[in-house]
Amino acid sequence: MIQIFNKILRNRLALIGGILVLLLILLSLVAPVISPYQKAIDQNYSRTLQAPGASHFLGTDDLGRDIFTRILYGTRVSLLVGIIVVFTGMLIGVFFGLISGYFGGWLDSTIMRLTDIFLAFPFLLLAIAISAFLGPNLRNGIIALSCASIPSYIRLVRGSVLSLKENTYVEAARVCGSSNGRIIFLHLLPNLFGTLLVYGTLKISTAILAEAGLSYLGLSVQPPDPSWGKMLFEGKPFIMEGAWWLTFFPGLAIVLTVMGFNCLGDGLRDILDPRLRETKTGATNV
């Protein structure tokens, strides 16, 4: 881990992404301390639709709520959703991907046919369908996004295991009498760490963006709780009145968050994939 950290410091893309991600995490943790208004749902009808100024750093919405405070608390929702969705999808997807790729046969065919059925639907469309079926709230939104993300992990892990299980160290483990479980969890799974770390980091941004879409459609976070997607929806009717800050700042928060995790994921990929480094080095030398 120390070596990876040192490589991140030397990789400009990973460093920029890491700084943005750490800043977002820090802001979400200290939101009650740095926010001048303790509650994101407090309303003040005497200060509705105020432009950004001294009293309200990023302005107020149509109910007099402070935009800066709502964005800070919305950061908590977005990061929570991203981490839980990736962890849940990875946990289930890796398990089925491992047994599918390792054992093969009818088990592999059954798992992959079911996976193909889910992959036939676009990620966000599948999440919308599941969330609409379960009911509109944050918990069901997380469940919907987690279920929609599982198939991609299954396919990723299964493809990697099909390649890894042909290596000589796996054959040597079989000859030594290692059980299938030992081979899977002690020999194959550790070799997937780099791939899963990069893919999971990139998928956090996808989950955050998808949650914002669900909230925009009213299928995730419900009023008056803050969510970046919900803030975009609530601010849309007031754009023509000149209240640009209602949608600009939540949109900027989404863009910076997605960019941060994407940069971090791309940087980690450059660091952890030696084949990619060799390709880039060769291209530079040419």
| C-alpha distances in Å from residue 232, one per residue of 1, 57, 250 | 39, 18, 7
What lies within 8 Å, CB to CB, of 57 at 6+ separation is: 36, 66, 67, 68
Rounded alpha-carbon distances, angstroms, from residue 129 to 65, 115, 126, 186: 32, 17, 5, 38
User: Which pLDDT value is given to residue 279?
Assistant: 44
**Fold of the domain built from segment(s) 78-255:** MetI-like fold (1.10.3720)
CA angle (193, 199, 200) in 5-degree steps: 85
Q: DSSP characters for 179-244?
A: -HHHIIIIIIGGGGHHHHHHHHHHHHHHHHHHHHHHHHTTSSS-TTS--HHHHHHHHGGGGGGT-T
Q: pLDDT tens digits, residue range 121-177? A: 999 999 999 999 999 999 999 999 999 999 999 999 999 999 998 888 888 988 888
Q: Which residues of 208-237 are buried (b: 16+ CB within 10 A; e: fewer)?
A: bbbbbbbbbbebbbeeebbbbbbbbbbbee
pLDDT at 204 (0 to 100): 95
Tell me whether the omega of the peptide bond preceding residue 250 falls within 30 degrees of 0, making it cis.
no
* Inter-residue contact 131 to 144 (CB < 8 Å): yes
The answer to whether 194 touches 276, Cβ cutoff 8 Å, is no
Residue 111 near residue 100 (C-beta atoms within 8 A): yes
Domain ranges, ordered by start, for the chain: 78-255
In one-letter notation, the amino acid at residue 59 is: G
pLDDT of residue 117: 94
Give the per-residue pLDDT at 54: 84
Is residue 81 within 8 A of residue 94, CB to CB? The reply is no
**Residue found by looking up tokens 């989404």 in the block:** 254
| Regions of the chain short of the pLDDT cut 50 | 278-286
pLDDT of residue 228: 94
Per-residue model confidence (pLDDT) at position 205:
93
